[in-house]
């Protein structure tokens, strides 16, 4: 198994990078945060996950081992393949995904393209206990419920007012992070000012 590949960054797109090492170019699938981190770099090191199928040999690359661990947890969930896991990791940062799962935030997961409510629930059920075991994550960094009932109500209200789901979730989460004690009405008013 290949653990990582390091070498010259020969090509970079939002979905894949080509790393050249010892005259061989490896095409490696990446998520958007990895693309952002690699922009402007001449040399790179990517931790790799290999997918060997009958019709393809695919490599998925990550900036660090924490990202790779999260990816492996995501693909361990029934119904989540490598491309869906990459879509999830392109939509939010590793920390945000871990926080969503740890705080049972179905709404935020459901807002990701290709993730239905049942899949979001399955991700939370399967990974809630495992997510805090990822190296570098402290259980204390997540508020126990992060006002999840208030948050869900506020997001629902904003969506009914015509705002996009993903934008509503991000805005409400940002407000709650600053002040978790806010009531639903206050959350909605503050979110409307920010949108």
pLDDT digit string (tens) for the chain, length 195 residues: 889 999 999 999 999 999 999 999 999 999 999 999 999 999 999 999 999 989 999 999 999 999 999 999 999 999 899 999 999 999 888 888 988 888 888 888 888 888 889 999 999 999 988 887 775 555 444 444 445 667 778 888 787 778 888 888 888 888 888 887 788 778 888 888 887
Domain span at residue 80 reads 65-141
Residue 128 sits in the same domain as residue 72: yes
Residue 56 sits in the same domain as residue 76: no
Residue 96 sits in the same domain as residue 155: no
Q: What would the two tokens of residue 169 be?
A: 């979730």
Could you tell me which of 137, 16, 14 has the C-alpha nearest to residue 73? Answer: 137
Counting the structural domains of the chain, the total is: 3
| Helix or strand run (H / E) with residue 108 | helix 106-110
Residue 76 sits in the same domain as residue 107: yes
CATH of the domain at 158: 1.10.8.10
Asked if residues 52 and 45 have their Cβ atoms less than 8 Å apart, the reply is no
- State pTM to two decimals: 0.69
Residue 38 sits in the same domain as residue 76: no
């Amino acid at each position: 198994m290949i653990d990582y590949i390091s070498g010259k960054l020969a090509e970079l797109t939002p979905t894949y990078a080509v790393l050249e090492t010892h005259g061989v170019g490896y095409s490696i699938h990446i998520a958007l945060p990895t693309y952002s981190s690699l922009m402007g770099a001449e040399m790179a090191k990517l931790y790799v996950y290999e997918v060997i199928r009958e019709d393809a040999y695919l490599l998925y690359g990550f900036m660090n081992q924490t990202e790779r661990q999260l990816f492996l947890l995501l693909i361990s969930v029934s119904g989540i393949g490598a491309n869906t896991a990459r879509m999830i990791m392109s939509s939010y940062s590793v920390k945000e995904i871990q926080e969503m799962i740890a705080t049972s935030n179905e709404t935020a997961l459901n807002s990701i393209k290709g993730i239905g409510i049942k899949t979001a629930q399955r991700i939370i059920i399967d990974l809630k206990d495992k997510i805090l075991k990822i190296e570098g994550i402290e259980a204390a960094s997540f508020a126990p419920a992060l006002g999840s009932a208030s948050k869900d109500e506020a997001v629902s209200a904003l969506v009914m007012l015509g705002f996009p789901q993903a934008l509503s979730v991000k805005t409400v989460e940002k407000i709650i992070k600053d002040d978790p004690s806010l009531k639903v009405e206050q959350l909605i008013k503050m979110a409307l000012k920010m949108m």
